[in-house]
Structure 1
Amino acid sequence: MPSGLIIQDGKITKYLLIYQPQSDKSRYLALAGYNLDNWELLKNDIINAVEGSEIAKATPSDWGTQFEVKSEWSGPSGRLIKVITIWQQDEETEFVRFITLYPDKSREN
């Protein structure tokens, strides 16, 4: 992954860790022990896991390049989670911003 990874706090506190009627991620993350009380830990764990992972797929978009990264780590509960994160590097920027994550069902035991 390129350096300069950015995750907006609201992506964690207002989206990932809040129940969503469609494409909910909060329940999966709760299994690993993540909640609003430790959201900063989730943010750091995502960045640390992605920095050590290879890009699974890079796709050009109208705004830049999107990256798909498969990674895994143990959450606060000790449970291993396997996720796919989506990132985007906008044209003419050096930063890569976090878009979303979802469980990597292809890597379940």
Structure 2
Amino acid sequence: MKSPDNLIIPEEKLTHYLLVPRIKDDKSKFLAQAGFTQNNPEDLLTAIRQLATTNEAVEDNTNEYGTFYTIAGYLQGVNGQNLVVITVWLESKDDGSFRFITLKPKKD
């Protein structure tokens, strides 16, 4: 399935979660490899949006909140390095919105 054009990617998901160093489940070091830091969250937002609009969304599972999808591909880094990732999205049962949940490194 092609992802909808009106993707919702909450800024706080980037600035208060993905780009913040954490003791457990830290994604900031992984993202820093491609030049994404707390100083340029707009670049990460652009890269996630580009990945989501150029790759297929694959249905994963459904629960009381809606249907979850994954979109895998290359996250184009600001320093020229690309990261292979899987992004997770939720199509809300309530309002039909397509919302970014998280990303993780894709492991082969």
- The size of the alignment, in residue pairs, is 106
Percent of aligned positions that are identical: 34
1:42 maps to amino acid: L
Secondary structure of 2:40's partner?
helix
2:14 maps to amino acid: I
- Normalising to structure 1: TM-score of the pair? 0.90
Secondary structure of 2:14's partner?
helix
- Normalising to structure 2: TM-score of the pair? 0.91
Q: State how far apart, in whole Å, the 2-side matches of 1:44 and 1:6 are.
A: 12
Matched, 1:71 2:94: no
Q: Please state how far the C-alpha of 1:52 moved relative to its aligned partner.
A: 0.7
8 Å CA contact 1:17, 1:26 repeated in 2: yes
Task: Give the CA RMSD over aligned residues.
Answer: 1.2
Matched, 1:41 2:18: no
1:54 paired residue among 49, 53, 56: 56
Secondary structure of 1:105's partner?
coil
Q: Please state how far the C-alpha of 1:30 moved relative to its aligned partner.
A: 0.2
Give the structure with the larger helix fraction.
Answer: 1
Q: State how far apart, in whole Å, the 1-side matches of 2:55 and 2:80 are.
A: 20
Q: Please state how far the C-alpha of 1:58 moved relative to its aligned partner.
A: 2.8
Which blocks of at least 5 consecutive residues in structure 1 are unaligned? none
1:96 maps to amino acid: F
Q: State how far apart, in whole Å, the 1-side matches of 2:25 and 2:76 are.
A: 22
2:102 maps to amino acid: T
1:28 paired residue among 15, 27, 30: 30
Q: Which runs of 4+ in 1 moved over 4 A?
A: none
